[in-house]
Structure 1
Amino acid sequence: MIKTAASTTAVLAGLILTPAPATAAAVPTLGQPVAYVRGGDVYVSSGPAEKKVTTGGGYARPRWSPDGRQLAVLKGGRLWTMKADGTAPRRLTTRPAAGPSWSPDGKWLAFASLSCTGGPGVYRISTTAAKPVPEVLFPRDCRGEALPEEPSPATGSGSLNDRLRTDDAVAWSPDGKQIAFRGGECDAVYDACLSIGTIATGAERVVAAYGGGSLQNRGFAVLPAWRGDGARLAFTAYQEGETPAENEPLHVVEYDPRTGRKRTIGAAMDREPTYLDAGRALVTGQSKGGSWVVLIDLRTGARTPFHPGSQPSARGR
């Protein structure tokens, strides 16, 4: 199902009790590997067969390197890299981190952690240096400041909405010039917001906002993901409006950075998008009584279950 922004509220309000099921079909062959999490471990698959590449649990937010040879992953709330088959694990920093994103040249990883302001900030760290040191990217005013003390990692407890609303996963744009992240300067105006920051200047612009600044709603926008050509940014959103008719359960929004237009893709309760290409995306959705990685045709809205799991990452995204 694909709806325009104008019809999103009514449609989602009706779907909250009956999320659209994925169509019954054979496991699709995607043409590129996808990493995802099940039971706290990372799996990789491009079709019916899948390979478990970690053991012991505690893993989250896998992200492919641009060349497909490595995965960045969170382990116990810290940032690690490893080869695509799970070997040669390497911890990059002891600082607690949120979902990482590779620079297009593979030389850096961006991640979120506590900033000098006391809120979430965006850092980058070298993937090639022998002893890499995190550098502040956002907020701009924290550049050059001493890094704050390392807080304890988040526990990840609470409801799904509670866990998602504070997920600080970031997304590096395909042209290498921008990073999308939760919060930013807009935190001074709104209760929750999502921003795109320009690395060269530190300037930020608001993509989505909730509460405060005359907005009579509550909600969040998190887990941004760029399309490979940089022409679209998708993210997970949730809203409580002034009236029940304005409520929007968990859903995925696709945003055009050039025009500011938004549309809802997928079904209610979808989350954690990643693009395969301009016409296909993967999300974590509801299927067969649990969380599944689901393939969505962005043109027709057709949904096909891929594998049980969550937090999908397509190669290069």
Structure 2
Amino acid sequence: MSERSPSWSVTNRIAYERDGQIWMVSPYGTNQAPFPGITQPSPSAPAWSPDGSQLAFSSGGDVWVINADGTGERRITTNNATSSALAWSPDGLKIAFGKRVVLSSGAVFTGIAVINVDGTNERVLTVPEANKTDGDPSWSPDGAKIAFDRYGQSNVNNGIYLINADGTNQVRLIGNGPELWYANPIWGPVPVGINTPFDFDGDAKTDFAVYRAGATPTAQSFWYVLRSSDNVFLNVQFGSGEDKITPADYNGDGKTNFSVFRPSNGYWYVLLDSSGNYSAVHWGASGDIPIPGDFDGDGKADLAVYRPSDGVWYILNSSDGSFLGRQFGTSTDQPLRMDYDGDAKSDLAYLRTIGTDYYWYILQSSTNTVSIAKFGIVGDKAVPADYDGDLKSNIAVYRPGTNRWYILDAAGTGILEQQLGESGDVPAPGDFDADGKMDLTVFRPGAATWSVLRSGGGSLSQQWGIGTDLPVPAAYIP
């Protein structure tokens, strides 16, 4: 017997090749049986859909799809001569595969192709030179890019490549080493607890968003969001004039929820969906500072407040409903929202003024040890965020007097200094280009214009809001 090419489904079934058939087995080695309903000869390269409801496989040079219960076997390509593993897009709507193509000149190549699961819109994304093969595609978690390998008779241009899912911007990541072959790139999932701040549509980009507070404590407040995914404008009434905004991802769907904390009654109100369903949870008291974060690492923001009167953090864990009370700070300290150690859990942190200097105190969740750093002066705005893409919050300040940003590197030894802004601007950093790095950003009251210095290069200017609005990305800047 020969077994190979295992594919693990989210429903805990493993499909694999065995002697010219596709079989299934449980993770415990039980319930071994041929996959039901497959009638095609010599099926290979099984690949489960992201939700486990369908299985794709190759047979006779074509891509086939069958339901998990063995019904609905269907061919979605015609004479494509597939030659590599199959890969489902994260949304389950497309399949990437290697397609063998013969040119009119007689030259042969195998490129990466993508087709909709219903068999429509097939397109070849890559065209290597003759006698080269592109294969083993792997989608990025957001479905925007595909990694693949290229190999052939010579080592020239062999390597691991990356291309946008629409076929643009192909780049080689590694390759061309002597006598080296590269194969089977695997794109890891986004770590639990890691998502883009202030991203209301889930496209991994911060959206331009403002909050317009009601004129009186009981008057209605409105959120205005320009979605980056489709440039659609959202106008959402949620909150009242007295509320403090607390935007975060409370349900773990990768999208920021509209949310407020009401000081007068200590309630948190979180808008759960576009249908208007919301939660109301009592957690806190008048005088508390709301500072939500993912303190338990389950990918969902936890309700949390800092109580200046006793310097205690009160955290309601979303994972199991347990709560934590931890004294860390004093009445004059400013709580900060950050993950300093990069373990996908928010750390308790605060800013303390001693003389004319700022001191940062951070209780790292990974080690339960306290780090202390002297950085910034009185008058600076603390703007901690991940500016270098290492999944750790950098200690950083914005200095209104000079409109300069100062960012401490991960090693704590180097400082990045950058000018952006004018007198009166409000710092509001966000990841507007989806590169995993926060961009330096300011909001200009009066003109209501945003100026973004993209970490990936270039700048961006956008008018959004009115002069008295609060830029949502500034929600947690003390």
Q: Give TM-score scaled by structure 2 length.
A: 0.33
Decide which structure has greater helix share. 1
Q: Give TM-score scaled by structure 1 length.
A: 0.48
Q: Which structure's relative contact order is higher, taking Cα pairs within 8 Å and 6+ residues apart?
A: 1
